[in-house]
Chains A and B, each alone.
Chain A
Amino acid sequence: MPLPSHLRIAVRDWPVRRYYLLGTLAASVSSIHFMFVPEQRVVDWAVWFLILIPAAMLIEGILDARLARSNGERLIGETHAAAW
């Protein structure tokens, strides 16, 4: 789920929100990891997923908050909701 949504934001708002590639990268790594994890160790995969994805989202959220504070006014006109 995070893979397409984060990639979409990164591509749509490139280069302003290119840091969304971090979420894309984290989700890709997690997806590849899932393909090679044996069934009895699926909990390990889930824990790594719970570390990787929130860590990436935390960084994205901090950078988004900083962007909203510093550049939000400049970027508007094309609002969040309108940019589909």
Chain B
Amino acid sequence: MPLPGERLQRIAFVTTRYAELQGLKLVILGAGVLANVVAWGLLSEALNPFQLMNMQAGLWIYIGTLWADRYYARWFGSVPLVPAPRFALFYAVSNDAAHRSVPVGKPDTVGAWAVFIALLIDSFKGLIYPGGVSLAAVAVTGYSVWVLVEDGVYRPHYLLGLAAGVAGISLTWAVPFGFRLPGPLPTAVAMPYVQIFGILAVALVVVGLLDHRLLVTAMAPGAASAGRRYSAPDRGISRFRLVGAAGSLTVIVHYIAFAGWPRNGEFVYSALMLGWMALLIGAQLLDLRRMRAEQRGAPVKVETDELPAGVRCRRSMWSGT
């Protein structure tokens, strides 16, 4: 994995690209899209894939991004805010900097959000006016080109993103437009989009994992090439896995207990979506309570305090805490 050799150069590279290198966000996005493609294949090809995408994208990616934010903040800390000359007005507005007189910085991972928004536009547009070039494919192509131009030396894996994006554009280029109401979509129209969603999802997972690896390598030189290592389980991931698995299992067991063995996949799918929505609302209520406690100045359980000394040292490299 190529990286700037000098320590200072490496710190500068990771600091300026910290949000972009948080590859697990792209992985979550790709996994959510892939889950949609698999669900469409398993349930019924008469279903509208855009309808599934709308539900999946909102749930998966929102929960996943929240989790990824916390994961990166917990293990790698946060970059101090720095002046952002380009797009300064946008950042000033989004950070409300005028009222706080603090420097402004990048709000989030631009690439993942651009692809996510393009995917949402594709999904909503597909419900009413399917056809034409996929915006998600265009977004992946554009973002990959930007990365290759800016950081091509260190992140050549975006060639895969570029290839997937170009394949997506070419596959959907000739799909005819047509107004329609929500409901089943002819397979001939749906298939090219499902195919490119699958291709884009795999590419996003791969480039996201490689971005994450690059960040890990940059933060702990030698870690990726070292031999055998043990790792303590991450509490956030363990909790996420535990709650997700328990939620899914509860839904399916209750479904079988009350409605018998499922014969219709769509009912199971809907029950699972409702269960996950309940989980999401519960998680948001907990977050809200935590934020209110912080605002009141009440002692709040700080997860970084649970981390051992080695990790806190790594955090202090950037944040000065």
**Residues of A participating in the B interface, judged by any CB pair closer than 8 Å:** 1, 12-13, 16-17, 42-44, 46-47, 50-51, 53-58, 60-62, 64-65, 67-68, 71-73, 75-84
Partner of B233, one of A51, A58, A72, A84: A72
- Report the count of interface residues on B (CB-CB < 8 A): 46
| B238 contacts A75, C-beta separation under 8 Å | no
- Give 1 or 0 for each of B241-276: 1 = CB within 8 Å of chain A CB: 111111011001100100001111100100010000
Give the dominant DSSP class at A's interface.
Answer: helix
B301-321 to A contact mask, C-beta < 8 Å, 1/0: 000000110110010000000
Known: A46-B265, A54-B249. A79 touches B231 (CB 8 A): yes
Contact at A75–B231, with CB atoms within 8 Å?
yes
Which chain A residue has the least Cβ–Cβ distance from B309? A76
Given contacts A76-B308, A79-B311, contact A47 B223 (CB under 8 A): no
- Distance in angstroms from B228 CB to nearest chain A CB is 8
Which partner residue on chain A sits nearest B261 by CB separation? A47
CB distance from B278 to the nearest CB of A (A): 16
Find chain A residues with CB under 8 A from B213 CB.
84
Q: Establish whether residues B245 and A57, one from each chain, have CB atoms under 8 Å apart when the complex forms.
A: yes
User: Known: A13-B230, A50-B252, A79-B75. Contact between A43 and B268, CB under 8 A?
Assistant: yes
Q: Is B311 touching A43 in the complex (CB atoms < 8 A)? A: no
